[in-house]
A = this chain, B = another copy of it.
Amino acid sequence: MAGPDRKPTIIDVARLAGASIKTVSRVINKERYVSPDMQERIEKAVAELGYQPNMMARSLASERSNLIGHLYGDAGGPYTLEIQVGLLNRCRDHGYHLMIEEIDYRSPNVEQRASAIVNQMRLDGVVLTAPVTDNPVVLRILEDAGVPYVRVTPQQESETSPSVRIDERQAAYTLTQHLLALGHRRIGFIKGKANHTATILRYTGYCQALTDAGVAVDPVLVEQGEFTYASAVPCARRLLDQHNRPTAIFASNDEMAAAVVAEAHNRSFSLPAQLSVVGFDDTPLAEMMWPPLTTVRQPVREMAEAAADILIGLLSQRGKVDWPKPVPHQVLAHTILLRQSTARPPVKG
């Protein structure tokens, strides 16, 4: 068996099938106007040669890369992974590939880096998650490049790009209400990282629930964390050290809630009898810790899938409309998960 050993190209297929390159191209791209007979011959040739179209060549000629980028800031935790799984699910089904890029949003050359990613790779579309979602530099670059993008959990909805989110404020509100309903009045709060959208929204929900219930927001009960376990340890300590300490603590995510729980265990509190704790996100951790954590589940994967769907939908009608107006903004449903980390407050002694 002699013959060329290199990968077969569209030319080889055309030759074998006795068709023109262009017609083969049509079959590959499932375009119309190919007779059943011809189609079959070409498909047979493709199979026989094991032909696989070269994406690079395809992209170059068609100006479509079939690449979707996921830009994110902090690699942190299960969240990012869930997002990726969701995106991947959709990409797979629609012939797109996922390219992931971390952007150090604090670095002075975000601009250069973001631009390089978007422009060099010729990404067809981009999904943004926190905290890049709200980075004006990145957004501008995307706008300038004319690359469609979808933002997951944006600070505020924009008229130029779609978004997907849950109502975080409402979720925090409800969760706080739950604590209030149990009878808690002194409810501690640990905030998340300063520049994240979620931080603000969750805190707002907490405040509003208190206010609506006629309970004043006591600044002594509010601590500033950074969404990490370590950052929350001192917060928990300070809260529990108080003479008139809170009977419940709302941590802005599960990880920080775990720190509170650990600190409570350290002091041999029995949970939830002596202290109620709630988190946010329903990370795997939440049900693996003891006691299982009351928290709110964000359908992260579904959000990513929704984002991908929007993006892919957009891309498929490229050239017709730039954006459907108004651009879609999806709000997905969250779920409050009542587990065993919350209970009525201890009776005053």
- Give chain A's interface residues, CB within 8 Å of chain B: 7, 52-57, 59-60, 65, 75, 77-78, 80-81, 84-85, 88, 92, 97-102, 115-117, 119-122, 229, 255, 258-259, 261-262, 265, 284-285, 287-292
CB atoms of B284 and A7 under 8 A apart: no
Are A120 and B88 neighbours in the complex by a CB distance under 8 Å? no
DSSP majority for the A interface? helix
Q: A78-B77, A81-B80 are in contact. Are A262 and B288 (CB under 8 A)?
A: yes
A-B contact pairs, 13 of them (CB 8 A): A56-B60, A60-B60, A75-B85, A80-B81, A85-B102, A98-B99, A98-B101, A255-B284, A258-B289, A262-B292, A288-B289, A289-B289, A289-B290
Interchain CB contact under 8 A, B100 and A84: yes
Select one of B59, B75, B77, B262 contacting A284, CB under 8 A: B77
Min CB–CB distance A12 → chain B (angstroms) = 14
A54-B122, A99-B98, A290-B289 known; A81+B88 contact, CB < 8 A: no
Query: Please, how many angstroms separate the alpha-carbon atoms of A85 and B100 in the complex?
Result: 10
Q: Which B residues are CB-close (under 8 A) to A117?
A: 97
Beta-carbon contact of B116 and A52 below 8 Å: yes
Q: In whole Å, how far is A298's beta carbon from the nearest beta carbon of chain B?
A: 17
B120 touches A54 (CB 8 A): yes
Contact indicator A77/B81 (Cβ below 8 Å): yes
Minimum CB–CB distance from A252 to chain B (whole Å) comes to 15
Q: Which residues on B sit within 8 Å (CB–CB) of A85?
A: 75, 102
Q: Is the CB of B88 within 8 A of A102?
A: yes
Closest CB in chain B relative to A349 CB, distance in Å: 24
B288 contacts A122, C-beta separation under 8 Å = no
B265/A288 in contact, CB under 8 A: no
State whether A55 and B97 are in contact (beta carbons under 8 Å apart), knowing that A102-B88, A284-B77, A288-B255 are contacts in the complex. no
Contacts of A99 in B (CB 8 A): 97-99
User: A236 → chain B, closest Cβ, in Å?
Assistant: 12
| Residue of B54, B75, B80, B265 touching A290 (CB-CB under 8 A) | B265
Q: Which of B75, B101, B289 is in CB contact (< 8 Å) with A97? A: B101
Q: How far is the CA of A265 from the CA of B289 in the complex (A)?
A: 10
Given contacts A77-B284, A80-B81, A85-B102, 14 further A-B contacts (CB under 8 A): A52-B116, A53-B120, A54-B122, A55-B122, A56-B60, A57-B60, A75-B88, A88-B101, A97-B99, A255-B288, A262-B290, A265-B290, A265-B291, A284-B285
Are A121 and B101 closer than 8 Å at their CB atoms? Answer: no
B120 near A52 with CB under 8 A, answer yes
B54 touches A60 (CB 8 A): yes
List B contacts of A285 (CB < 8 A).
284-285, 288
Instruction: Specify which chain B residues have a CB less than 8 angstroms from the CB of A65 in the assembled complex.
Output: 56
Q: How far is the CB of A30 from chain B (nearest CB, A)?
A: 16
A50–chain B nearest beta-carbon distance, Å: 8
Q: For residue A55, which residues in chain B have a CB less than 8 angstroms away from its CB?
A: 120-122
Residues of B within 8 A of A100 (CB): 84, 88, 98, 100
Query: Given the known A-B contacts A54-B60, A80-B81, A100-B84, are A287 and B229 also in contact in the complex, defined by CB atoms under 8 Å?
Result: yes
